[in-house]
Structure 1
Amino acid sequence: MRANGGNSVISGETSEPINARRTETLLFPALFRHNDLIAAMSTAENIPQKKLVNILNYLHFSESRLYVLLTHPDYPERTLIRVRHEPCSTDKLVCHWDQDCGDPDLERYNIPYLIVSYDQAVIIAPVRVLDARGSMMTLQLPEYGRLINERERPRFRCRNIEAEIWQQGFQAAGHLVDISDRAFRVHVAAKPPSSFSWFNTDETAMLRLHDGETTFYAAPCTAMYEERKVRGRDIVVTPLNDEEIKRFPPKVFRNPRLNSSTPLHVIFEHPLIKKKVQREIFDISNAGFSIRDDEKDVVLPPGLIIPEAAVLYAGVVKIGCTIQVVYRRRENDLIRFGFVILDMNVTNYKKLNLVLTTMGGGHAGTSNVVDTDELWEFFFDADFIYPQKYKALHTIKADFRNLYRKLYEESPEIANHFVYQKNGKIYGHIAMLRAYEKTWMVHHHAARPMGGKAAGLQVLKQLILYLNDLYRMPSANMDHVITYYRPGNRFPERIFGGFIDYINDPRHASLDRFSYLTFPPREAGGKLPDDWSVRDCTSSDFWEFEQFYRNSGGGLFSSVLMPEEGGGQPPLETVYSESGFIRRWRFHVLARHDVPQAFIIVEESDVGINLSSLLNGFKVFIIQPDLPPEILFSALSAMLGPDTSGSVSLLLYPAEYAETLSSGYESKNYLLWILNMQHADEYIDYLGRKYRIRVL
């Protein structure tokens, strides 16, 4: 027999609404309405006194309450009163009236039975009062109690869960009393000016269950039963959708569900009944998992949110997440419960992805475990670090090596990577970096020949599989994915650029052309004329930037720079700093007579974190095409300060502005590709239709 002292199958108790003011002492909380239990004692299972004492001590340890049954010599009704009991070591049990019940005059009442709610059953023990003084009494326990299985459908008592009911202007609040597999019993009082005369039991109502901060359940329900109490009412409601909910829009491409030969479990505390649950996982993907269970063992209504759960792999790897029940389905004698993963941080998502890759036998050769010495050899041999690029980096190579050791070995929250390798030698590589508050950048995609195998394509597939569910996680902060590439580079032009023409909707995916150059600040410096100034952006400046960018053929970059607020998460600068990295940016306006002429974004990151310095230096959006270049360069030099040495990268938009520069500045073009991740399915569909690239 499994013990669960916090569960209750006794109905009829009165529970006061949360925060309700007491105006009187309740002597009799509830009438006893289950005379059938007394009648069933003659055929019930015996519970020896020794076992009964152990159960009573367990319930005391669990801080659970007992009940005594009171009878009046002149009236037929029987009354339940809740009591607190002391530890028990003999056949005598000391009890105290619950503080809500006052001090009944025992000379006017009899106490024939002690009633114990235990493990979805009821123990009824005939007792005799040995002593009664004030609020305390001593009971003589019997040689045997009677165990009665009261319900076919178990009902679990709930604690510290607030309940709210709304219905077309009617409002009531109180708390959740108990739940069964398909019903909730709440005790609520109408909130003025609402009245229960407004409540229509034939119409749908909205039920919300929470603890004052976190909502665990909110769904439309119908009332099955309503009972008037001294304060408020007990209402039993059942959800309209008690089999399945639709948490997200259906996806065309779903990561496969896998079964594990290695033990894989989910562990969580049930948010309503405060009971620890551990179950073996039946199948799992990056998006969710399912378990199978006896319906009498656990109550998991579809829609229930479990804020703190953990997936445990092989008893060692623990992966924290927030989950929600999305369906319950009968499979022979068991119930299958499906869960969607609502959120997990990037570090835990990496762990889950690694577990799933292991379970699936791995994608031959793909991995995110890298020998950094092999990585350097690969970057040089694949001509990713070409001579001019290495010339700019060689003076900081020690810092550069340490930077990549942290990125690839310490697995920070801000980055991830995939490699295709054989016998430790790397043939394909791709990485991603959280570049802006809610945007990740794909970069460092490179490959070298491997006997006809497309190593570059393999790591791209792995990246897409990884992103396919990650973007839905709020903690991932992935509204957009971006990448830069050079015009004329055939692979990204087909894989990324071709999608722009295919989808033909800049709200789904966009492509912006920038001109890229470097300039020496000392040579370009000079004082700005008096009618020119550089200042921080104001809210009206941001509005003007959006108008300029949108009307100049721009795409999604303004959404990247100014994402929707929300989530309550730390800023990206803090996240980088906590991992030992640098990432920040500032917005400025170059103005003449206080009229914006250009918007300037000053970006700072660890040198070499992006090998093309696309996250260091300036991004300048030219509003006035006739802006004198010497004015622009003077402004940029002044912003850098006199101590800046070496060249600084500069991205100009629109790219045509570079044509106004003198021949001393050599420029090249970069294309910025941006994907709105709400349309990731469309991109995967494009890869399959256009190039027969089967990702899933």
Structure 2
Amino acid sequence: MICTWEGNKDLERKLQSHEFQHLLINDGQKTLLIKPKVAEINIEKLIFLLPGEFTELNSRKIRRYSCSNISANLIQNGSSFQGTLVEFSATSLHIKVQSSPPQTFQWLNNESPATLVLSNQAEAIYSTECNILKQSCGQHMRSIVLAPTSDRIFKFKPKKHRSTRNRLKPSPSINFRHPLTKGWIDLDVDDISGSGLSVTENVKDSTLLPGMIIQDLALVFANSDSLRCKAQVVYRIPPEDSSLQDTVKCGIAFLDMKIEEQTRLLGMLYQAENKHSYLSNRVDLDSLWKFFFDSGFIYPEKYLHLKSNKNTFKNTYRTLYEKKPNIARHFVYQSNGNILAHMSMVRFYNNAWLVQHHASRKTETRRGGLTVLSNASRYANDTYHLYSAHLDFLFCYFRSNNRFPRRIFGGATKYIDDPKGCSIDSFAYFHFNKSFNESWQSANHWSFNSTNTEDLQELKRFIDYSSGGLMIPALDLDSICQNESQLFREYRELGMVREQHLFSIKVKGTLKAVIVLNLSESFLNMSDLTNCFKIIVIDSVGLTREILFLMLSILCVKFGLDKIPALLYPSNIAEEMAIPIEKIYNLWILNMQHMDRYFDFCEKVIPGFGITPS
């Protein structure tokens, strides 16, 4: 065996004053004592002839792993001690820290818990509350052994309705470079859901610490397809099966994942549960067009609205369904290519997704329609904690005479009974045609300008008073500059229009109304509710239909519009202003933090709602 010295400082003197006795080799679990024959020892190398036997001095139950270049920060009662991680096992950590005057190690209390934060050169990779098991007696540098106080962490708010765990066959595997040892880890997956997975480790070789962050975890399937994500170990517990006591079960939560990869994963999981369920699969547009007619979703009045722009409509849906962009999701229940039910979602605001196009063939059972609604709800529940999903809110528009959404969305709002958790606001709907019946001079006390920060604050106070709902945060009415956001740039990269402009109507400086102009690709929503004026009247005193229509006409000229849908809030203002309306639309918004209550209600009215039937 040939060895080299780790350092050669003052080595020549040491070789003259010391003599070799034996080798001690520690592999992290066992310490071996070996007495070889010395062939040569000099300042460059050591050469030994190994014997055929050795002595095992001790054996640990759990292996320790040596570490390098991992910074440690031990915090207790406001004191912080900096150092490095020396080694760790699955149940303890050995660090070396130093004190800097006026610090003293007397500030460390062995009987109180402390917080340990480990980091590499870039960012924190592990943190935990721990107990101090023992420490050395150095004045300026000490070795400290710590034990985590818990075998699990709670990264997210606990859910009553958790993601469905699936045991796939064949099982996928995970591999990643361990953040503390820098070595490669490869483990088989026990079960997996849209929000995380579990694996089994051998107790004595375990390396997964609850709280440890894995920057780049690869999830590899049997066909060599793989997905990558940022993840975190969230628990390490004994197995339920008593015959597997030499193993430990570890849970890993997904912290972030490219949204297209999350969609691929959930698509595989939903189809593993139900072969008829598809998520954002490739859809034949002719089949989709036929389905919309057969299901009654496109009725004669709506078809007349679409007919003159049929090519525009098809181009929009070709982008959404064939390019499969990150801004759109669709859920399909089909058999042998025959679409039986459908629902879609589009990211229309920065952190809010519009749910629309829920339809099923009337000749089929209710299963398909309920399945796509369930899958869309489960998708939201699986992904809203991911930053890349940009999913803080779900929203949709429905009419009160539409029985199913009134029962589900209206019922959920009453059940949750908290407008900051789930809200409904009613809008009067009409089509506005550009006209100038009044001259600007007749409105000489009125002003019409881009909305400013003070106007938004007043708008928020009005919505909080009149509704108390979620309109402000969900519809991006809490900030002015939206058109350069990442979302709008993504629309433009797809060759699609997406803009939002805010304008304020005032009289003598008093805010009367805010007009929100949303511009998007025609028929992104079939009722064009994504391409319309949204008029929020804060104070109707003195604001007449003529003044309002004059302002709308000015915007039509500015943006090259002739006829455009308009939504007016509060809805009773239409009657007050004698504005003829076509219908009332209810805007339903759900805060994702209240998904448990939403699922509670849905399962009351639809037994087994959260479970995809096979």
Q: Same fold (TM over 0.5)?
A: yes
Describe how 1:65-464 pairs up with structure 2 within 5 A: 82-83=6-7, 97=8, 101=9, 105-106=13-14, 108-110=16-18, 112=20, 127=38, 131-132=42-43, 137-143=44-50, 151-152=59-60, 153-229=62-138, 231-241=140-150, 243-331=151-239, 332=244, 333-360=246-273, 362=274, 364=276, 368-369=280-281, 370-464=283-377
TM superposition shift of 1:530:
3.8
TM superposition shift of 1:327:
1.9
Structure with max Cα Rg: 1
TM superposition shift of 1:211:
2.2
Match of 1:684 in 2: 599
Q: Which one-letter code corresponds to 1:634 in the other structure? A: L
Counterpart Cα distance in 2 of 1:597 and 1:192: 63
TM superposition shift of 1:564:
9.2
TM superposition shift of 1:115:
6.4
* Cα 1:387/1:486, change in 2 over 3 Å: same
Counterpart Cα distance in 1 of 2:215 and 2:355: 31
Counterpart Cα distance in 2 of 1:693 and 1:583: 38
Match of 1:11 in 2: none
Per chain length, whose mean CA-contact separation is higher, i.e. which structure has more relative contact order (CA < 8 Å, sep 6+)? Answer: 2
Counterpart Cα distance in 2 of 1:463 and 1:672: 18
Contact 2:471 2:477 in 1 (8 A): no
Counterpart Cα distance in 2 of 1:173 and 1:564: 42
Match of 2:565 in 1: 649
Q: Which one-letter code corresponds to 1:622 in the other structure? A: V
* Cα 1:643/1:598, change in 2 over 3 Å: closer
* Cα 1:462/1:298, change in 2 over 3 Å: same
Counterpart Cα distance in 2 of 1:525 and 1:602: 22
Structure 1 residues 275-307: Cα deviation after superposition (integer angstroms, max 9, x where no partner): 211111011112221111212333111122222
For structure 1, which runs of at least 5 residues remain unmatched after alignment? 1-48, 57-65, 69-81, 84-96
Counterpart Cα distance in 2 of 1:416 and 1:290: 27
2:408 corresponds, among 492, 495, 498, to 495
TM superposition shift of 1:185:
1.2
Counterpart Cα distance in 1 of 2:138 and 2:182: 26
Q: Does 1:638 align with 2:554?
A: yes
Counterpart Cα distance in 2 of 1:159 and 1:297: 19
Counterpart Cα distance in 1 of 2:10 and 2:497: 65
Match of 2:529 in 1: 614
Q: Which one-letter code corresponds to 1:377 in the other structure? A: K
Amino-acid identity (%): 33
TM superposition shift of 1:326:
2.0
Which SS does the other structure have where 1:202 is aligned?
coil
Counterpart Cα distance in 2 of 1:147 and 1:561: 72
* Cα 1:105/1:571, change in 2 over 3 Å: same
Structure 1 residues 522-569: Cα deviation after superposition (integer angstroms, max 9, x where no partner): 55785373432223333322221111111112411112135999xxx9
Match of 1:26 in 2: none
TM-score of the superposed pair, with normalisation by structure 1 = 0.79
Counterpart Cα distance in 1 of 2:183 and 2:478: 37
TM superposition shift of 1:677:
1.2
Q: Does 1:532 align with 2:439?
A: no
Q: Which one-letter code corresponds to 1:629 in the other structure? A: R
Structure 1 residues 635-663: Cα deviation after superposition (integer angstroms, max 9, x where no partner): 22323435614311211110111124456
TM superposition shift of 1:409:
2.2
Which has the higher mean CA deviation after the structures are superposed, 388-397 or 215-224?
Answer: 388-397
Structure 1 residues 565-586: Cα deviation after superposition (integer angstroms, max 9, x where no partner): 9xxx963223333444433323
- CA RMSD, Structure 1 to Structure 2 (Å): 2.8
Counterpart Cα distance in 2 of 1:345 and 1:536: 36
Contact 1:174 1:188 in 2 (8 A): yes
Match of 1:76 in 2: none
TM superposition shift of 1:231:
4.9
Contact 1:443 1:610 in 2 (8 A): yes
Counterpart Cα distance in 2 of 1:519 and 1:168: 65
Counterpart Cα distance in 2 of 1:306 and 1:618: 46
Contact 1:122 1:147 in 2 (8 A): no
Counterpart Cα distance in 2 of 1:109 and 1:650: 94
Match of 1:603 in 2: 518
1:658 corresponds, among 556, 574, 592, to 574
TM superposition shift of 1:416:
0.6
Counterpart Cα distance in 2 of 1:629 and 1:126: 104
Which SS does the other structure have where 1:105 is aligned?
helix
TM superposition shift of 1:117:
5.8
For structure 2, which runs of at least 5 residues remain unmatched after alignment? none
* Cα 1:328/1:107, change in 2 over 3 Å: closer
Structure 1 residues 486-524: Cα deviation after superposition (integer angstroms, max 9, x where no partner): 121111110111222223221221110001112122557
2:427 corresponds, among 504, 509, 514, to 514
TM-score of the superposed pair, with normalisation by structure 2 = 0.89
Counterpart Cα distance in 1 of 2:74 and 2:297: 61
* Cα 1:467/1:642, change in 2 over 3 Å: closer
TM superposition shift of 1:398:
3.0
* Cα 1:251/1:645, change in 2 over 3 Å: closer
Q: Does 1:543 align with 2:457?
A: yes
Which SS does the other structure have where 1:283 is aligned?
strand
* Cα 1:452/1:106, change in 2 over 3 Å: closer
Contact 2:87 2:93 in 1 (8 A): yes
Structure 1 residues 412-457: Cα deviation after superposition (integer angstroms, max 9, x where no partner): 2111111222332222111011121111111111222124444322
Which SS does the other structure have where 1:639 is aligned?
helix
Q: Which one-letter code corresponds to 1:624 in the other structure? A: D
Structure 1 residues 257-277: Cα deviation after superposition (integer angstroms, max 9, x where no partner): 221112311122211111211
